Amino acid sequence: MTQRTLRWPLPAHDYWSTPFAESLLRHLDLKQGVRILDIASGHGIPAFYLAEQVGQTGLVLAVDLSLHQVARARAIQGSQLPWLRFDCADMRALPVDLPMFDRITGNLSVMFLRPNRLAAVRCLIEHLTPGGQIVLTFPSLGTFDSLWQRVDQQMVRRNLARERARFQEYLTERPSVHDARGWLESLGLERIDAVEYPLEVATGPGREFLFHPLLRGGFLDDVYECFEDQSLAEQFMNGIAEQVPQFVPLIAQRCVLSGWKRI
């Protein structure tokens, strides 16, 4: 597409959603006039960018399960980009009367397709036009491996058998790049890509680690949830936080899953 000054670029200050969105855009065939369904749209990364790119002859429907996120995105939008609409909807069970789309995108979306991700992806593809493309991103298996190895080692050392069993269930549940490719292959898509791009997340020890906006919002919380005794969880995680220099750098794997529906 022709390079021009963007009114709605990906936010430079977002150190998580924007890098994943950038990886999504590497694989998305984006052009004016296409109709896009953007799932797990949050507060609009990359929905605003997509809408500007498709132009007023196109359409972007951005859906999220969170009313708060939808309201926030609508407040940002105001009366601009009228061909972009934010709606509250469960992307795992979209309305059957929803129209067909030329592209389906989902930045940081796959984790929200639980419990049956394959069935959820199948539902999405039912709303994809023949010859259309789906592109999803998510932090895949291998994300922050150095941290998880340290957590597991310390659980073994402290004989936290029940907590470790729950922790292993969490790790096993995270899909790999190979799992993701398998979903699209089993659903008969073609020109499939499943690619990982590393992203380093910087942090220091102590409170900087424990309250890191990217780590505490989901990743570290999963460890806390392995403990019935939250005072024990706090004690355990304080110990992990002091060991940060021994397991950095922390590397996230940005997985991009892309495929095309057969004509």
Q: What are the tens digits of pLDDT across the range 247-263?
A: 999 999 999 999 999 99
pLDDT band at 4 (very low <50, low <70, confident <90, very high): low
Q: Cα–Cα–Cα angle for 212, 71, 129, nearest 5°?
A: 95
CA 49, 56, 80, 36 dihedral sign is negative
pLDDT tens per residue across span 55-96: 999 999 999 999 999 999 999 999 999 999 999 999 888 888
pLDDT band at 112 (very low <50, low <70, confident <90, very high): confident
Cβ neighbours of 193 (radius 10 Å) = 15
Cβ neighbours of 139 (radius 10 Å) = 22
Domain locations along the chain: 17-138+175-200+253-260, 145-171+203-247
pLDDT at 45 over 80: yes
pLDDT tens per residue across span 113-122: 988 999 999 9
Compute the mean pLDDT over every residue in the chain, rounded to the nearest whole number. Answer: 95
CB 254 within 8 A of CB 198: yes
Cis peptide before 130 (omega within 30 of 0): no
pLDDT at 47 over 90: yes
pLDDT at 1 over 60: no
CATH for 17-138+175-200+253-260 is 3.40.50.150
Cβ neighbours of 149 (radius 10 Å) = 11
CB 149 within 8 A of CB 247: yes
How is residue 174 written in tokens? 């995270």
CB 197 within 8 A of CB 256: yes
How is residue 13 written in tokens? 């200050």
Total-model pTM: 0.93
Mean of the pLDDT values across residues 171-187? 95
pLDDT band at 6 (very low <50, low <70, confident <90, very high): confident
In sequence order, the β-bridge partners of residue 63 are 39, 87
Strand 250-260 vs strand 190-201: parallel, antiparallel, or unpaired? antiparallel
pLDDT at 142 over 50: yes
Rounded-to-integer distance, Cα 219 and Cα 146, Å: 13
**Concatenated DSSP letters for 89-149?**
--TTS--TTPPPEEEEEETT-GGGG-S-HHHHHHHHHTTEEEEEEEEEEEE-TTTTHHHHH
DSSP assigned state of 112: G
Share above pLDDT 70 across residues of the chain, in percent, rounded to a whole number: 98
Q: Which bin fits 211, alpha (ψ -120 to 50), beta or left (φ > 0)? A: alpha
Rounded-to-integer distance, Cα 139 and Cα 197, Å: 10
Mean of the pLDDT values across residues 185-210? 97
The pLDDT, as a whole number, for residue 3 is: 54
Rounded-to-integer distance, Cα 263 and Cα 258, Å: 16
How is residue 88 written in tokens? 């509250």
